[in-house]
Structure 1
Amino acid sequence: MPLPAAPDRKPNVPARRLAASLLKANNELLIKGILCVLIGLGVLVSPYFITSPGMQNIVAKSSLVGWFALVLGCAFVGLYARRRMTAPAKP
């Protein structure tokens, strides 16, 4: 009697799926944080490089949005760092 064929798919292990979903969520959090930091810095620094006085005033008045994006991005990056530091070590 011959042996059955080898499986062609990986076993469906719930722990492995959970670890993969957490890793994906952490990476998305880091990407969101970096993008928010870049947007915030762009809004805060851009008035110094705009030559038109009218446009410079418009962008300078939106500095509150830039600070909010910068703080939110730093919070996302900090949360990512905290999750990475508290994550259990891989065996």
Structure 2
Amino acid sequence: MADKKANNDLLIKGVLCVLIGLGVLVSPYYITSPGMQGIVAKASLVGWFALVLGCAFLGLYAKRRMTAQGKP
């Protein structure tokens, strides 16, 4: 039961990190204020980090699901 909760937590963290990363990377194209657009564009490193971290969480979740299915 605890393993299932840990796996679901990984899934939630992964999806949220990917959404945050994509939001930070894509939002400068939709912000109309030049000042705010520049501030968010300078945070692109944070967006890439969140995107990579989210993909790592999702990869770990997928790996755990595959190994759990193989167990009797």
TM-score bin, normalised by smaller chain: over 0.9
1:42 is the counterpart of 2:10: no
Query: Larger C-alpha radius of gyration, 1 or 2?
Result: 1
Q: Hey, which bits of structure 1, 4+ residues long, moved more than 3 A?
A: 88-91
- Residue in 2 aligned with 1:51? 32
Q: Which residue of 46, 50, 63 maps to 1:65?
A: 46
- Residue in 1 aligned with 2:10? 29
Aligned length: 72
TM-aligned CA deviation for residue 59 of structure 1? 0.3
> TM-score, structure 1 length as denominator?
0.75
- Consecutive unaligned residues in structure 1, runs of 5 or more: 1-19
TM-aligned CA deviation for residue 61 of structure 1? 0.3
User: Which has the larger share of helix?
Assistant: 2
Q: Which residue of 59, 62, 65 maps to 1:78?
A: 59
Q: Say which structure, 1 or 2, has more relative contact order (CA 8 Å, 6+ apart).
A: 2
- Consecutive unaligned residues in structure 2, runs of 5 or more: none
- Residue in 2 aligned with 1:13? none
> TM-score, structure 2 length as denominator?
0.95
Q: CA RMSD in A?
A: 1.2
Secondary structure of the 1:50 match is coil
Counterparts of 1:73 and 1:65 in 2: how far apart (Å)?
12
Secondary structure of the 2:12 match is helix
